[in-house]
Amino acid sequence: MCWPGAAALLLWAGLGLAQDYPFRDPTLPWEQRLDDLIGRLTLRELVLQMARGGAKYNGPAPPIERLGIKPYNWNTECLRGDGEAPGWATAFPQALGLAASFSPELVHRVANATATEVRAKHNFFMSTGSYGDHTGLSCFSPVLNIMRHPLWGRNQETYGEDPFLSAELAVAFVQGLQGDHPRYVKASAGCKHFSVHGGPENVPVSRLSFDAKVQERDWRMTFLPQFQACVRAGSYSIMCSYNRINGVPACANKKLLTDILRAEWGFQGYVVSDEGAVELIMLAHRYTHSFLETAIASVNAGCNLELSFSLTENVFMSVSEAVAKGNITLETVRARVRPLFHTRLRLGEFDPPAMNPYSTLDLSAVQSPAHRTLAVEAAIKSFVLLKNKRGTLPLSAQALAGQRIAVVGPFADNPRVLFGDYAPIPDPQYIYTPRRGLETLPANITFAAGCSEPKCQRYSPGEVEGAVRAADVVVVCLGTGTDLETEANDRRDLSLPGHQRELLQDAVAWAAGRPVILLLFNAGPLDVGWAQAHHGVGAILACFFPAQAAGIAIRKVLLGEEGASPAGRLPATWPAGMDQVPAMENYTMEGRTYRYYGPEAPLYPFGYGLSYTTFLYRDLVLSPTALPLCANLSVSVVVENTGQRDGEEVVQLYLRWAQPSVPVPRWQLVGFRRVPVAAGRAAKLLFLVTYVQRAVWAEQWLLEPGAFTLFVGGQQPGQETCASSEVLRAEFAVTGTSRPLSRC
């Protein structure tokens, strides 16, 4: 046995703790501590750690009392705040809204604030001996599935439709959540749902039995890149998804969980199943015939931890029998448990608390003034201005004094519908609906819901008419909410729900030329073509699900207060109609997302968004314009604010291949930056487009010579619906002969 050194013994003695096992010795290397801990566990103890991943009554992972190891609950949701945990927590905007910010820096700060609250509440739970659901430090976040279909119920949880944007935000989230301490992790990240997952939920078939048939090229170029970025960022966990992939369930898919994830990408963490996904291998997919066979398939494929629906005897409880029969080796079981305890070691569980600065966080960190301020900033930066005719916005605070503002619609004053799925629950005093936010203005606010809930099946036009006819400005609040799009519930079309369009049209008619501003609260695109075309709707603002700070952020943006000029950009394409929407269950990328969109123009393109000011692009320089196969491209461009107001611009770079040997996107986002530019000022920006971003999938990642075009501007090139700024373009050439990416 390896005994700790004198320094370690003195440290433990000084803290009043008994150090009795090497795995508790903080002076030893992590691997040596793991060797000691795993080597002490019996087969039954190992199996119980794998089987009790949590959810309902299946967690926590049980204690190992003879070693002084306490229970641990793996089931924590941290998508944009400490979701579903007991007690209050700051609720930041839903993930798709954060993606609309096009700001990895913002996502990093939101993730870090989330981790602070998760850790603070965890410390409290541990002090009271509470190990229930959502009390741990291991997060089932972020969601990295591509928003491949506009009607998918879980679009709101994603970072949109582009793999590069999703990858950049994934890195920011993982690193922000896990923190920058050299030894300890604040909260551990877990990227989901791996892989080829993005609908259907329930239309036209159930997600629990769906077989996603995907071409290898689409798998590699669309569904996997952001997960590889998650691994590079150091995520401790990956969650395997419910669906099959070309006939093989994700949680029993050796190609996915071993060949790609571990062998190709070098992942060292653990794979946890989506809730119930392991048992559904047999019960829904009929891929196996018994729980024993299911355990053998999933464990040998690379699954470490089972998250069950509510089984008394989880599938992984059969692992002991599988080992006895020689179907799973004891070495495999130990290998599957090892990253579970490595995670707990890095979270600081087995070190003296005094060594871990995160152990001092307490409930005073939850809903702190700094976090509430960040929630406002995040909401402001998530908003996308879709329409602004005749300078409807911003409104003048001075001109509004004493005027009458009508705030109408089912989202005007209903806190519940502003949050989206997997939302933290804040103290109600910090929740600002649009009505409550606008009531802070020196104006007379009138309110009429018209519909009591988002489905808007019963509409009361009289109350809306009374509010609108008496108003100088009308704010109409429409959308979807979790009543219509959420986990296990897809939408069936793009329409505004129920009587919402009628409510909007009535409001425009009764306003009789007075300003009408449409606020949209949704994730999946909505058909608001009528509002976009009609002169009576002066402005449209996409708010997504902004959560607790909705009303404050809306007030600031409508008035264009300092730091509140809209600059969000759509992270997904909004089709112009259902004729542009492919079948949900067809997993080819043809006709999907801006990268492979059909010939007809969408209502709003990916990357689109307006501003209260105008921008001019100039002096685009590529260096070199002819570069070797494995060289990177340097890019510089100047963006100038030519308007009268300070603002932020999202600079976007798109790459187009001229003559690739295999199918590729028509163009691909390869760079972006959200940058503040004061009125009348200019900023010179530098970018690096790496050789990796030119790779194509041709049975392996391949670099090819040829001609390329780089587009730089505040939007995609060649769009019918566009902002006022131009898009610059420049050509460059790549020389050499084709070679595998791995040889660069």
Residues with a catalytic annotation lie at: 274
Check residue 222 and give left, alpha or beta (phi > 0: left; psi -120 to 50: alpha): alpha
Backbone angles phi, psi at 95, to 5 degrees: -55, -40
Kindly give, in sequence order, each residue whose CB lies less than 8 Å from that of residue 582, ignoring residues fewer than 6 positions away: 149, 590, 591, 592
Please state, in angstroms and rounded to a whole number, the distance separating the CA atoms of residues 548 and 542: 16
- Candidates 312, 311, 294; CA nearest to 303 is 294
Give helix 369-382 / helix 550-559 axis angle, nearest 10°.
50
Q: 């799973």: which residue's tokens?
A: 328
Give just the sign of the alpha carbon dihedral 234, 237, 242, 247: positive
What is the CA 12 to chain-centroid distance, rounded?
41
Encode 683-744 in three state secondary structure.
Answer: EEEEEEECHHHHCEECCCEEECCEEEEEEEECCCCCCCCCCCCCEEEEEEEEECCCEEHHHC
Please state, in angstroms and rounded to a whole number, the distance separating the CA atoms of residues 476 and 434: 10
Please state, in angstroms and rounded to a whole number, the distance separating the CA atoms of residues 278 and 639: 51
User: Within 13 Å, how many C-alpha atoms sit on residue 170's CB side?
Assistant: 33
- Candidates 524, 554, 539; CA nearest to 412 is 554
Please state, in angstroms and rounded to a whole number, the distance separating the CA atoms of residues 233 and 266: 12
Kindly give, in sequence order, each residue whose CB lies less than 8 Å from that of residue 536, ignoring residues fewer than 6 positions away: 508, 509, 511, 513, 516
Contact (Cβ atoms closer than 8 angstroms) between residue 186 and residue 123: no
Helix (H) or strand (E) holding 641: strand 633-641
Contact (Cβ atoms closer than 8 angstroms) between residue 365 and residue 117: yes
The alpha-helical segments, DSSP class H, found in 28-154 are 30-40, 43-51, 95-100, 104-127
Contact (Cβ atoms closer than 8 angstroms) between residue 474 and residue 514: yes
- Candidates 480, 332, 343, 505; CA nearest to 416 is 480
- Candidates 500, 515, 540; CA nearest to 417 is 500
Long-range contacts of 28-31 (CB under 8 A, 24+ apart): 28/2, 28/4, 30/342, 30/345, 30/346
- Candidates 643, 642, 620; CA nearest to 689 is 620
